[in-house]
């Protein structure tokens, strides 16, 4: 069996290993610079031996350096807030994602913190060089799995739409709105696309994000996928992005954060701690609310949304998170259900919701 086939099989088997091999098919745009620069294959001379990424670059196209056969080194301005370099290789700022290992860089050291790479990060390299990178990625994600599995013994209650789902087919049967996600699963599983949500944000509104959105849904979350198990991070992302108008807190980034803090509990879902400590990390004020109709109606607004952990009922057969976003003039409740656009389009009777809420958190800035 050749090396590339072994690596492919390791990805297929990675659910049991929690192998988070995140790959990016397009540029992952890091927002925050109003007049940012995007690096593409046309940004530099293809015969260059070395290039430098300026501090103004806020997006790098996947495969931007694939045709640079002589390239040995990529340097990044230390003041760039989104990207970094080490021994001639290009990474994200925290050195967990490899963006490009230049074809001419045959001996540069690889950061031991690496857990993911862009799809075209290894273009032009020898099989042995690719194997060196792949071994680090596989090894680190196995370590991550061990940490996550160990944390599953704690007593924190959890909620997650997928805690009772073991296969992607089962997920599709349970959530028919995700039919396209399921249909394309074998093609895209493990890949991350452009998760930029800046176009989704409107002042004074809590945006609706769907956990199985192609932009992030095929990425790994613990021992599962964001599209299947990521209702918790997706809900917190909606609240943070809406209240702070901050597109950097997209579901992909919040899922990464939740996993790094062991808020994903293997076989169960997302720990409630994400909704409290995690929210505080993102600069929100959070209080545990009362589960009754008057409290919800009197305190809920787009400036004070609520995340609810749900019991079996209209939303789940075991556990799920949703966001309450506002109250209509006739007293109905508006919600964002991260797994169902249809549920999100409905206006809900408050008592129907109260009977299904297990816990509730209220947010503000």
Q: In terms of Cα–Cα distance, which of 237, 228, 224 is closest to 265?
A: 224
* The predicted structure's pLDDT at residue 269: 84
Residue 234 parent element (H or E)? helix 231-244
Question: In tens digits, what is the pLDDT along the chain, a chain of 365 residues?
Answer: 444 444 444 443 333 333 333 333 333 333 333 345 778 888 899 999 999 999 998 888 878 999 999 999 999 999 998 899 999 999 988 888 888 999 999 999 999 988 777 768 889 999 899 888 878 876 765 554 444 333 333 323 333 444 434 578 888 888 999 999 999 888 887 777 778 898 999 999 999 999 999 999 988 887 788 999 999 999 999 999 999 999 999 999 999 999 889 898 877 789 999 999 999 999 999 999 999 999 999 999 999 999 999 999 999 888 899 999 999 999 999 999 999 999 999 999 999 999 999 999 999 99
Cβ count near 269 (within 10 Å): 29
> Where does 158-364 sit in CATH, by number?
3.90.70.10
* The predicted structure's pLDDT at residue 27: 36
Q: For 130-185, write each residue's pLDDT tens digit.
A: 888 878 876 765 554 444 333 333 323 333 444 434 578 888 888 999 999 999 88
Residue 234 to residues 112, 216, 260, 279, Cα–Cα distance (Å): 29, 10, 16, 12
* The predicted structure's pLDDT at residue 140: 67
Distance CA 3, CA 338 (A): 38
Q: Where are the domains of the chain?
A: 3-151, 158-364
* The predicted structure's pLDDT at residue 15: 35
Can you spell out the DSSP letters for 261-297? Answer: TT-EETTTEEETHIIIIIHHHTT-EEEEPP-SHHHHH
């Amino acid at each position: 069996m050749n090396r590339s086939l072994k690596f492919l099989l390791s990805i297929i088997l990675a659910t049991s290993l929690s192998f988070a091999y995140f790959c990016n098919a397009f540029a992952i745009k890091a927002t925050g610079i109003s007049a940012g620069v995007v690096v593409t294959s046309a940004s530099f001379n293809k015969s260059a031996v070395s290039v430098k990424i300026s501090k103004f670059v806020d997006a790098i196209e996947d495969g931007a350096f694939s045709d640079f056969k002589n390239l040995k080194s990529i340097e990044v301005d230390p003041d760039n807030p989104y990207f970094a370099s080490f021994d001639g290789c290009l990474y994200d700022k925290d050195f967990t994602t490899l963006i490009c290992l230049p074809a001419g860089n045959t001996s540069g050291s690889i950061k031991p913190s690496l857990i993911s790479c862009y799809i075209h990060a290894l273009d032009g390299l020898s099989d042995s060089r690719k194997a060196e990178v792949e071994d680090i990625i596989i090894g680190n994600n196995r370590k991550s799995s061990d940490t996550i599995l160990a944390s599953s013994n704690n007593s924190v209650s959890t909620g997650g739409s997928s805690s009772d789902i073991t296969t992607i087919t089962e997920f599709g049967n349970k959530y028919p709105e995700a039919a396209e996600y399921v249909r394309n699963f074998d093609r895209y599983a493990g890949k991350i696309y452009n998760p930029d949500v800046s176009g989704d944000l409107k002042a004074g509104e809590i945006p609706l994000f769907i956990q199985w959105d192609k932009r992030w849904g095929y990425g790994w979350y613990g021992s599962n996928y964001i599209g299947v198990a990521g209702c918790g991070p997706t809900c917190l992302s909606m609240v943070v992005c809406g209240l702070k108008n901050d597109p950097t807190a997209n579901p992909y980034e919040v899922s990464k954060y939740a996993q790094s803090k062991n808020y994903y509990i293997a076989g169960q879902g997302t720990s409630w701690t994400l909704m409290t400590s995690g929210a505080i990390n993102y600069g929100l004020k959070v209080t545990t609310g009362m589960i009754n109709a008057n409290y919800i109606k009197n305190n809920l607004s787009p400036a004070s949304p609520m995340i609810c952990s749900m019991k079996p009922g209209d939303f789940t057969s075991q556990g799920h998170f949703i966001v309450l976003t506002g109250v209509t003039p006739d007293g109905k409740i508006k919600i964002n259900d991260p797994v169902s656009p249809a549920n999100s389009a409905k206006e809900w009777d408050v008592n129907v919701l109260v009977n299904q809420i297990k816990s509730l958190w209220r947010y503000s800035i």
